Amino acid sequence: MHELGIVFYIIRDVKKVAEEHRVPLVKTVVMNIGEVSTVVPEYLTDCWRWAADKEDLLRGCELKCNIIKAVTTCNACGAEYATVEHGRKCPLCGSEDTVLKCGNEVEIKEIEV
């Protein structure tokens, strides 16, 4: 399962940071999850609950997901538009020469200890 794999990565990274800062218990992990990343936040938090409670460092620790809106830039006319509504095709000029500016993130923003 996709989200479970990601949870293991999060745990590995958080453990490392906690060790560096000599933190005994993490209260919250805050994630930035892009709208068009392949991660489903509800599944992620479900997997998190199951996996995090097996770790002393993360027992009861909450996983919060900030959703990052996806924005696409049009290379033809320079417009920026909402990716989820319009997809790859620029709604202003009709060009398909467009690049995703943000909305693909799966990153750990911060932890509260």
Partner 1 sequence: MEAVKVIEIKKSVFAENEQDANQLRKELKGKGVFLLNLMSSPGSGKTTTLIQTINRLKEHLNIAVMEADIDSDVDAIRIKEATGIPSIQLHTGGMCHLDAEMTRQGLDNLELQNIDLVILENVGNLVCPAEFDTGAACNAMLLSVPEGHDKPLKYPLMFSICDVVVVNKMDVLPYFDFDLEQCKEWIHMRNPKAEVIPISAKTGEGVDAFAAWLLQKVNNWKL
Residue ranges in contact with partner 1 by CB under 8 A: 1-2, 4-6, 9-10, 12-14, 17, 21, 23, 27, 38, 96, 105-113
- As measured in angstroms, the least distance from the Cβ of 21 to partner 1 is 6
Q: 49 vs 109, which CB is nearer to partner 1?
A: 109
- As measured in angstroms, the least distance from the Cβ of 88 to Zn ion is 11
Q: 76 vs 84, which CB is nearer to Zn ion?
A: 76
Amino acid at site 1 = M
Element (H, E) at 13: helix 2-20
Element (H, E) at 51: helix 41-52
Helix (H, G, I), strand (E, B) or coil at 96: coil
- As measured in angstroms, the least distance from the Cβ of 106 to partner 1 is 5
Give dist(CA 64, CA 81) in Å, integer. 26
Give dist(CA 48, CA 29) in Å, integer. 10
Q: 6 vs 81, which CB is nearer to partner 1?
A: 6
